[in-house]
Structure 1
Amino acid sequence: MDVLVWGLVGLLACIAAWRFYRAPAVYIRRFVFAFIHVLYRLRFQGRRFVPPRGPALVVCNHVSFMDALVMGGGSPRPLRFLMDRPIYESKRLNWLFRMVGAIPVESDRRDPGNVRRALEEVSRALRNGDVVMLFPEGRLTSDGDVKTFRRGLDLILSRDPVPVIPAALSGLWGSWTSNCHGKALAHFPRRCRARVALYFDEPVPPGQATRQSLEARVRELKAEADRWVETGKP
């Protein structure tokens, strides 16, 4: 009987390993979704606005180093993240970033031609029908407010006019992964199970989005998300 049980356990483990090997991003997203629910009291709104198929660009404010996990877990579709190369090349996490298809980008000043190569990879992803996610501010906020969106967003949209989904995060400012109390990750967590909101808005049709209009809409969305974080009421 023990042999039969252990054989069954081994078979199930092999099946799970095979399925993970064939579609690792799916299982990583499920794990992340469960993980962030343990850490935070989450509210998602507008997830239906992420199209079930076809290319799209998601733009969001950048609050903390947890943003990508919340975005990746909250999105109904896998996201191809555009991220800083130094973070992408982290010895401990590079395997994960590669597995989920993150796209590294570095400034031309440090690596001439890198921005062009990153934009080409973004184009390939969009033309392949993927959803690409970026934080147009380019860095973590220093005061919790939404900063000016950088022109890289215009470059992407000029190359590939696709639907653009504005999104906003609230509740992570003040966490140990934000710059609220000094440099992010430089101190221990001060609270657990904080309210965190991720709001998506209706897609802006291809060719109609501008950097300024998207920034304005993300600010409006963030204000809506802030109200729930502060009061617990929509």
Structure 2
Amino acid sequence: MNSLFIWGVGTLLVVAYIWHFTRQPAWHIRGLVYALIHVMYRLRFLGRSNIPSRGPALVVCNHVSFVDALVMGGGSPRPLRFLMDKPIYESKRLNWLFRMVGAIPVESDRSDPGNVRRALDEVSRALRNGDIVMLFPEGRLTPDGETHTFRRGLDLILRRDPVPVIPAALSGLWGSWTSHAHGRALSRWPRRFRARVALYFGEPIAPGQATRQLLEQQVLELKRQADEWGDNHPSESES
């Protein structure tokens, strides 16, 4: 195993990400992403039917690793538009890719005055266009495997755009080379393959009923349920 292997895996992640979110025929795109993540992990999906078949929605999830978006994209029955950190979005090598997939950059007003308003306007346009917007309200990868306090920016989105909100939780990616479990993510070679990973989608919360505190509680409960699946259960997928 060497750096070429790690680079190859990273390239596959980026390619899969692009193919999934360019809205090509669903059977081709979702099949590709679904197959890729099943090669990488032993997966359990639960509650995918909670994603509405049409219309706008917001999905919120805990943030564990740099492949969270790939697993979320493969697990969702519809394309997701991700809210992401502006410094990553503006990467010289990857910015054109993030533009292609419709990612929405966000940065604090302290660093970029007016950016939060512009990001919220773009989220509103996406939701009013009937898209599903996905965000990690912790605002960063977990440093210790636990789910941390959701940031107040979520309140702004909930007030501006009363749409159904689906809580979600990821389990099993903490400890991977794409997490901060053993130092900075992506700074070492992979040590394990085919890890068991669970993605649970909760029941939608009606428009106007979701709060930041309620969503944080529900994501924590979904994560607890996903964690209970544990390493002693067989790989499986449920709708």
Give the TM bin, normalised by the shorter chain.
0.7 to 0.9
The equivalent residue for 2:15 is none
Partner residue of 2:14? none
The answer to whether the 8 A contact 1:55-1:131 is kept is: yes
Native 8 Å contact 1:60 1:167 kept in 2: yes
Question: How many correspondences in the alignment?
Answer: 214
Which runs of no fewer than 5 residues in structure 1 stay unpaired? Answer: 1-19
Q: Give 1:231 shift.
A: 2.6
Instruction: Give the partner amino acid of 1:45.
Output: L
Partners of 1:111 and 1:152 in 2: how far apart? 15
Instruction: Report the TM-score, using the length of structure 2 for normalisation.
Output: 0.85
- State the shift of 1:28 in Å: 4.8
The answer to whether the aligner puts 1:210 opposite 2:211 as a matched pair is yes
| CA RMSD across the alignment | 1.8
Distance in 1 (CA, whole Å) between partners of 2:157 and 2:224 is: 26
1:130 positional shift = 0.5
Say if 2:76 is the partner of 1:75: yes
- CA distance 1:181–1:145, change in 2 (3 Å): same
Relative distance call for 1:50 and 1:158 in structure 2 (3 A) is same
Q: Which residue of 1 aligns with 2:118?
A: 117
1:200 aligns with 2:201: yes
Identity %: 77
- The answer (yes or no) to whether the contact 2:23–2:79 under 8 Å persists in 1 is no
Deviates more, 1:98-107 or 1:211-220: 98-107
Instruction: Give the equivalent residue in structure 1 for 2:98.
Output: 97
Q: Which one-letter code corresponds to 2:62 in the other structure?
A: N
DSSP-derived class of the 2:84 partner: strand
Name 1:13's counterpart in structure 2: none
Taking the aligned partners of 1:91 and 1:32, their CA distance within structure 2 comes to 25
CA contact (8 A) 1:137 1:150 kept: yes
Cα distance in 1, alignment partners of residues 96 and 24 from structure 2: 12
Secondary structure, counterpart of 2:216 in structure 1? helix
Q: Could you say if the C-alpha distance between residues 91 and 32 of structure 1 is closer, same or farther in structure 2, counting changes exceeding 3 Å?
A: farther
Q: What residue is the counterpart of 2:149 in the other structure?
A: 148
The structure-2 alpha-carbon separation of the partners of 1:95 and 1:185, relative to structure 1 and needing over 3 Å to count, comes to same
